Amino acid sequence: MGHPFRVSIPHTSRSLLYLRWRLAVILFIAVLLHQHHLFSVSRQSLAAKYSPTKFYDAPNALPVRLDEEFEVQDELTFKREAWRVLGEGWEGKVFAYNDSVIKTFTPGRSPFRNCAPGSTGEKWPTEIAASLRFGGSYTNIGGDGGSNTTLEGFLPVKAYFKTSVSPSKPPEWHLVTPLLSGGNLNTLAKSLTTDQKPHTFREVDFRYRPVFNTLLSNLHRLHTIGYCHDDIKPANIFIQDSTHWVLGDLGNVRHITHPYHSSRLWSDNQQLPDCRANDAVRALKSYVKFVQMSASDGEELNEEFFKRREPLSRLFWTSAARAHDLSAARIVELSRAEHPTSEVGDHVFGPTRSFSVLELFSKRLVLQRAVDRAIQTRMGEKLARWWGMVYVFGIPSVSVCSV
């Protein structure tokens, strides 16, 4: 009888096999540790972002609601069918009715950060608290009951209330502010491009630079009392009249020392460590974007942007070089020094850009993309939500409201 057939594995091959298994196990453990690190950092960042804003002066004290505000609430709820939809976002919907804008906040969408006043034990939208704090009550403006904490450049509140859209749906918070028919910077830019007489970027800059400077002064006052807007972009700058722009959408307003400003999510979005400097730079980027969108010769502006010869491009690059310790007031000073009527420089400055094959065929496209990257104001949290497994564990909560 013969011996069973046996396969002999050489010693060298066995050693390589064991080495591969060890490397695979080490790599697997490293991936798990890295994933856990991303999970922890992402959860911490989201917890910081959605932590409450501290309103230092009597945070639970609100203006006494007058009869006029209750009348506005009654009229709006009775005429709900006549509301006109202006837009819809992640937080909720925006409607218009007569001379009012009604913003609703859908429960369960974006977490409410601040505790509602009183002993309700629930949270409410930070935008309502911030609007009351900085815009004040519409019925008190100019009267003896007006709050001395309100600022110029912010919309007053006509009414705020919580009610159900229908008996089958949970109640929603509503914020009512005056309707500004001019829309925002995007709307204004679109109207300028449709004018019968085209506007060059120099004409647009000359016309609106003083308005922009006033906006910066209002922003500086917000910073002076200890707060940052945190979401300045063209869509959140509204047109009050031909000489005044206002900052809207105050849902992201935070105190200067808010933990979000030192979080990984904040830095991953290329935001500046000092939220005041960050606000100022975002405002300047929004203005340059507005001029670019409004001008009939936007391509020429793109050409001049990196050359730093035009007053607007010089203003941008001079501010960008000092971005980390910049202030809104400082940009106003630089803006006055680089007035739109200033002489155009002879020398070409700006960062050196390498030429690519694409640029040889489409210089305009490359310039457009380069300028858009330089003035972009986009911020996101999709990756943080993914790594933080929000789809499983939800948004981390860092505060509980006492009843």
CA angle centred on 376, ends 216 and 309, rounded to 5°: 70
Rounded distance between C-alpha atoms, residue 251 and residue 284, angstroms: 21
Q: Which of 230, 228, 89, 248 is nearest to 182 (CA)?
A: 248
Are residues 155 and 242 both part of a single domain? no
Domain assignment present for 48:
no
Domain boundary (118, 146, 179) is at 179
Rounded distance between C-alpha atoms, residue 44 and residue 276, angstroms: 23
Q: What is the pLDDT of residue 397?
A: 78
- Average pLDDT of span 6-22: 71
Q: What's this model's pTM, rounded to 2 decimal places?
A: 0.86
Reported as a pLDDT band with limits 50, 70 and 90, residue 142 is very low
- Residue 92 belongs to a domain with what CATH number? 3.30.200
Are residues 148 and 215 both part of a single domain? no
- Number of domains into which the chain is organized: 2
Are residues 110 and 136 both part of a single domain? yes
State phi, psi for 317 to the nearest 5 degrees.
-75, -30
Residue 270 tokens read as 């290329």
- Is pLDDT above 80 for 61? no
- Give how far Cα 94 sits from Cα of 37, 85, 192, 201, 240, Å: 39, 6, 24, 32, 18
- Residue 346 belongs to a domain with what CATH number? 1.10.510
Are residues 300 and 322 both part of a single domain? yes
- Mark residue 84 as left, alpha or beta (left: phi above 0; alpha: psi -120 to 50; beta: remaining): beta
Are residues 364 and 215 both part of a single domain? yes
pLDDT per position as a tens digit, 150-168: 678 899 999 999 988 777 8
Domain assignment present for 173:
yes
Are residues 210 and 328 both part of a single domain? yes
Are residues 155 and 292 both part of a single domain? no
Are residues 107 and 202 both part of a single domain? no
Q: Which residue has the higher pLDDT, 84 or 90?
A: 84
CA 168 to chain centre: 33
End-to-end CA distance of the chain: give it in Å, rounded: 88
Range of the domain at 349: 185-382
Domain assignment present for 328:
yes
Rounded distance between C-alpha atoms, residue 376 and residue 239, angstroms: 21
Domain assignment present for 21:
no
Domain boundary (179, 198, 213) is at 179
Are residues 134 and 248 both part of a single domain? no
Domain assignment present for 396:
no
Domain assignment present for 38:
no
Are residues 159 and 229 both part of a single domain? no
Domain boundary (179, 203, 220) is at 179
Q: What is the pLDDT of residue 143?
A: 44
Q: What is the pLDDT of residue 310?
A: 93
Are residues 237 and 371 both part of a single domain? yes
Are residues 175 and 110 both part of a single domain? yes
Domain assignment present for 19:
no
pLDDT per position as a tens digit, 128-137: 999 999 998 7
Domain assignment present for 49:
no
Read off the DSSP letter of residue 104: E
